[in-house]
Chains A and B, each alone.
Chain A
């Protein structure tokens, strides 16, 4: 294999012959036939069209991804980019129609790795029936960027978009599965921590899961607990609605390995990301049925009720602890660091 066939060169980002080759060999081979309207990916036009249904709200979202390491237990940055964008649409109540994919690559980035990431991206799209319809590739010099950065935008349509702010006293809070798996798996995977476990990221597209809950009805608000974890997501919902969220500590779904890891490094599982989960605020009359709908889906097996909405401490989140205490669950400050004490 020639050098240009093994590693990305700066000329691959220059829009000429080799850029076309990169698309032909690595992108079009994986996303053959992807379209969401009359003009799709293969046209390699300046843009693509999206055929929108006559009713509903159009939801647009965008995300950039720079996670390290780019391959981690349970996934890679390709899977994370696709799932992250699909999940942002999902928790707005929107069916994902199409994604964009922009790559910024460091010169020398191995094509073998790029292929793996693109495969992961394609697999996620297939899981939810969304299309990759347009994108971009740029190449920066060695050291000017660390490996790869990915930006995605996603477009979806919702019958009625679901915000993250409509909380009413008595509403139930549901979690679709275990919390903190992704964040903790990344902590294990990062260089320097001599920890080993079978813990894997939970990264997954959750549109299919959310769709079942939406079909039941009574969903007042949704949020996916990514950066900052469940603590950040719950606090944002409490602040925007000026209500209180009361969490029942013992009900929180947390894997034993995640709990153990949190004790060793002193980082709470509620403050690190999940990438395949959602928090739902549900009308109490619908809660049981929504829970049943979530549990009927493979990604929702561990779904459970974790709390409810009240008014005692506006804009705050309170957690009742196993031993019978109570305390605030605060908005996390930033990237948590392991501590000794």
Chain B
């Protein structure tokens, strides 16, 4: 729910990592991570702790998912059988 931003690991010193957010550097703790990280990895940092490793491939995958959905929804757009409805007894 909270402010977390992706940062790149510049160095690791035990439980701490020096991370860089596009030119701003700070230290983040690593003890809340569930996967190992190394210099060069991206992590999501929240209130001074890394909470997740982010891979650059995931950024590309995100773009692919966006494209996939946008295309899929455009395909069904011309389908005349498509009608909005709900199972709860709303409109037919």
B32 to chain A, nearest CB (A): 15
Minimum C-beta distance from A321 to chain B (A): 18
**Stretch of A4-12, A236-244, A257-265, A306-314 lying at the B interface:** A257-265
Contact B2 A264 (CB under 8 A): no
Q: Say which residue of A198, A263, A266, A341 sits within 8 Å of B21 (CB atoms).
A: A263
B64 interface hit (Cβ, 8 Å): no
Q: When the two chains form their complex, are residues B5 and A260 in contact, meaning their CB atoms are under 8 A apart?
A: yes
Q: Which residue of A lies closest to B6 (CB)?
A: A263
B 24-36 to A, binary, CB cutoff 8 A, 1 in contact else 0: 1111000000000
Chain A residues with CB under 8 Å of B84's CB are: none
What's the minimum C-beta distance from A322 to chain B, rounded to whole angstroms? Answer: 15
Q: A199 interface residue, CB < 8 Å from B?
A: yes
CA distance A308 to B52 in the complex (A): 42
Q: Is the Cβ of B47 less than 8 Å from the Cβ of A196?
A: no
Whether the pair A260, B21 counts as a contact (CB closer than 8 A) is yes
Q: Is B56 an interface residue (CB 8 A)?
A: no
The reply to whether B47 and A259 form a contact with Cβ atoms under 8 Å apart is no
Q: Is B59 an interface residue (CB 8 A)?
A: no
Q: Return chain B residues, CB-CB under 8 Å to A263.
A: 3, 5, 21
Q: Which residue of A lies closest to B22 (CB)?
A: A260
- On chain B, the residues within 8 Å of A259 by CB distance are 22
Which residues of the partner chain A approach B48 to less than 8 Å between Cβ atoms?
A: 194
**B3→A341 contact, CB < 8 A:** yes
Question: What's the Cα separation between A211 and B46 when bound, in Å?
Answer: 46
* Residues of chain A lying within 8 A (CB to CB) of residue B26: 194-196, 264
CA distance A287 to B47 in the complex (A): 44
A31 to B26, CA, bound (A): 41
Q: Which of B1, B3, B23 contacts A197 (CB 8 A)?
A: B23
Q: Mark A240-280, 1 if CB is under 8 A from B, else 0.
A: 00000000000000011101110110100000000000000
- Answer yes or no: A203 CB below 8 A from chain B CBs: no
Residues of B contacting A194 in the complex (Cβ-Cβ under 8 angstroms):
26-27, 48
5 further contact pairs, Cβ within 8 A, besides A256-B23, A263-B5: A196-B24, A259-B22, A260-B24, A261-B21, A261-B24
Q: List 8 A-B contacts (CB under 8 A).
A: A194-B26, A197-B23, A257-B22, A257-B24, A260-B5, A260-B24, A264-B24, A340-B47
